[in-house]
């Protein structure tokens, strides 16, 4: 019965956007007739605005049609790790973090930084972000992989060109009704004082939590919440997502091991290059899509890359 209810909900979710678009289209068809009437021209701007909004709805629907895999509707858990190169790569990891946060904001997703390790001089050593919203994982899954930056380093006194790498890992948040067996004796729990921002409270109490899953060696840290209980709950949720991905061997093969930590964060394994010097271009190596407006991309305008990757993925599957 539960599976039937889930299937019904899935079909309704697929059909309701189509119904909404047809209703808007019928309304627009009636509205356009007003333009032929006396004084009808005063409604022209409103109708043009409604047409623009309808076009955006249709593009969004086309986007979502590409998302039909089992976990696509789920929230996403995104981790970013710099490659070798110290401050330069850590700064690049932080730039990627900002890019994804801005992208999520444009899509009205709720984001939360559940753990962040700042670099010594600049940038970040790692970050884990949750993105909550419809199809967050479906969109973000194609961003998993190595991202390469080429630029004149702001940390090099000789103004030389540097190449930096960072890895993006993406997991679906697992629903409660999916069974993932995590036995208490398999988890080591450590608590410590949070190192990030948060006022005096986080510095006075051991609210941060680190979970180590002994059989796999997976370590999850969460220090965002003021409550140790909430941090532990969030860390368990992320651990559950990681373990679920490990269990999906067939899916891992399909995406060539990107979800696991199997690829070196280095030359030759990148999915996308962001070049700021000697020219300005962002190129996706899987699809061949190129965008010259690098600033817009780094500000979160990455839908063109995501859509092309999803289309290619759909064809290959």
Each residue of 281-293: pLDDT tens digit?
999 999 999 999 9
Is the pLDDT score of 61 beyond 90?
no
pLDDT of residue 275: 97
Q: What is the DSSP letter of 153?
A: -
Q: List, as own/partner pairs, every contact residues 294-301 make where C-beta atoms lie below 8 angstroms and the sequence separation is at least 24, other chains included.
A: 297/99, 298/95, 298/98, 298/99, 298/274, 299/99, 299/102, 300/99, 300/100, 300/101, 300/102, 300/103, 300/104, 300/105, 300/106, 301/103, 301/106
Q: What digits encode the pLDDT tens for the residues 147-194?
A: 999 999 888 778 888 899 999 999 998 866 566 778 888 889 988 887
At 306, the pLDDT band (50, 70, 90 cuts) reads very high
At 8, the pLDDT band (50, 70, 90 cuts) reads confident
CA distance 30 to 37: 12
Look at 262 and 118; give whichever has higher pLDDT. Answer: 118
Domain ranges of the chain: 2-65, 76-173+269-316, 184-247
Q: Are strands 208-213 and 187-192 parallel, antiparallel or unpaired?
A: antiparallel
Residue pair 123/153 in contact (Cβ under 8 Å)? The answer is no
Which of 1-5, 35-39, 55-59, 113-117 is predicted with the least confidence, judged by mean pLDDT? 1-5
Reference 201, options 228, 241, 172; nearest CA is: 228
Percent of the chain with pLDDT over 90: 37
Fold designation for 76-173+269-316: Alpha-Beta Plaits (3.30.70)
- What CATH code would you report for 184-247? 3.30.160.20
Q: Which two tokens stand for residue 196?
A: 């990030």
For the beta sheet containing 76-82, the strands, ordered from the edge strand earlier in sequence to the opposite edge, are 110-118, 124-132, 76-82, 161-172, 145-152, 270-275, 281-284, 290-291
Same fold, 76-173+269-316 and 184-247: no
Residue pair 241/172 in contact (Cβ under 8 Å)? The answer is yes
Which segments of 107-162 does DSSP mark as H helices, in order?
136-140
Reference 226, options 254, 205, 247; nearest CA is: 205
pLDDT of residue 289: 97
Look at 55 and 202; give whichever has higher pLDDT. Answer: 55
At 237, the pLDDT band (50, 70, 90 cuts) reads confident
Interior/surface letters 100-122, b for 16+ CB within 10 angstroms, e for the rest: bbebbeeeebebeebbbeebeee
CA distance 261 to 246: 11
* Cis peptide leading into residue 37 (ω within 30°): no
Is the pLDDT score of 202 beyond 50?
no
């Amino acid at each position: 019965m539960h599976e039937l209810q889930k299937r019904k909900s899935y079909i309704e979710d697929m059909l309701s956007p189509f119904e909404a678009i047809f209703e808007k289209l019928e309304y627009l068809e009636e509205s356009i007739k007003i333009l032929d009437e006396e004084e009808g021209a005063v409604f022209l701007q409103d109708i043009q605005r409604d047409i623009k909004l309808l076009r955006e709805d249709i593009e969004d629907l086309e986007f979502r049609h590409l998302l039909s895999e089992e976990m696509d509707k789920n929230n996403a858990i995104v981790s970013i790790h710099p490659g070798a190169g110290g401050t330069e790569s850590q700064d690049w990891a932080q730039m990627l973090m900002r890019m994804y946060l801005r992208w999520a904001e444009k899509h009205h997703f709720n984001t939360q930084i559940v753990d962040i390790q700042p670099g010594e001089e600049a940038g970040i050593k790692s970050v884990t972000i949750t993105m909550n919203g419809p199809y967050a994982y479906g969109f973000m899954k194609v961003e998993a992989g190595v991202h390469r930056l080429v630029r004149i380093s702001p940390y090099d006194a000789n103004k030389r060109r540097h190449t930096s790498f960072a890895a993006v890992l993406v997991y679906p948040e697992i629903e409660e009704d999916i069974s993932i067996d995590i036995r208490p004796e398999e988890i080591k729990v450590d608590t410590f004082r949070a190192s990030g921002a948060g006022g005096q409270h986080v510095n006075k109490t051991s609210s941060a939590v680190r979970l180590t899953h002994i059989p796999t060696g997976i370590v999850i840290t969460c220090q965002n919440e003021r409550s140790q209980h909430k941090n532990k709950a969030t860390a368990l949720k992320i651990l559950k997502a990681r373990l679920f991905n490990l269990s999906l061997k067939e899916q891992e093969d399909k995406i060539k091991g990107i979800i696991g930590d199997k690829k070196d964060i280095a030359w030759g394994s990148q999915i996308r290059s962001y070049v700021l010097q000697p020219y300005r271009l962002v190129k996706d190596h899987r699809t061949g899509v190129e965008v010259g407006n690098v600033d817009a991309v780094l500000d979160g305008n990455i839908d063109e890359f995501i859509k092309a990757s999803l289309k290619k993925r759909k064809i290959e599957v």
